[in-house]
Amino acid sequence: MMATQEASSTDRIEKRVELRAPRARVWRAISDSQQFAAWFGIRLDGPFAEGSTVKGSITSKGYEHFKVEFQVQKIEAERYFAYRWHPYPSDPKVDYSTEPTTLVEFTLEEADGGCVLTIVESGFDQIPIARRAEAFRNNDGGWTGQVKNITKYVA
């Protein structure tokens, strides 16, 4: 089943993914940094461990110079994996290390026929708007940006 958007809020994004695979299999795909990197579309230069920082870069063509840095927060076997990072690295010349990070949390539960993964990224309220505007300018296609007017925001 496709990921569905839940709990709309201005500070967070939440996705719920139903997977027809054993929980242990999905856990490995998330907690093993090399497996994670393979499906996520990045290169990572070390394993995930609580308190560690793992660096890497994006593997998508044309974006190879964009760096990523995962600050691993918590690992609870087969249940929960959380890291902090700077979302949307968009300019390799800019040092984002002083900017606020967002928190990404993977929560895994068993379900009929497989398991359910909930992905939450939160902390967007702290990201300066100028950075967000810049990130949008640098992203060149693949997304259908939807302009929502203010009445939907305030209704």
Partner 1 sequence: MPVFAALADATRLRLLKRLSGEGSLSITRLSEGAGVTRQAITRHLYALGHAGLVRHRRKGREQIWDLDMKRLEKARQYLDQVAAQWDAAALRLKAFVEE
Q: Where on the chain is the footprint of partner 1 (CB under 8 A)?
A: 2-3, 5, 10-11, 13, 15, 17, 19-21, 25-26, 29-30, 35, 38-41, 87-88, 117, 119, 121, 124-130, 132-133, 135-136, 139, 142-151, 153-154
Pick between residue 15 and residue 43 the one whose CB is nearest to partner 1.
Answer: 15
Neighbours of 125 (CB within 10 A): 11
**What are 104's strand-pairing partners?**
83, 121
The tally of CA atoms less than 13 A away on the side-chain side of residue 39 is 8
Report the C-alpha gap between 36 and 82 in whole angstroms: 13
Record the tokens describing residue 75, joined without a space.
Answer: 């690992």
Pick between residue 64 and residue 125 the one whose CB is nearest to partner 1.
Answer: 125
Which amino acid would we find at residue 105?
E
Q: From the CB of 144, what's the least distance to partner 1, in Å? A: 8
Pick between residue 20 and residue 74 the one whose CB is nearest to partner 1.
Answer: 20
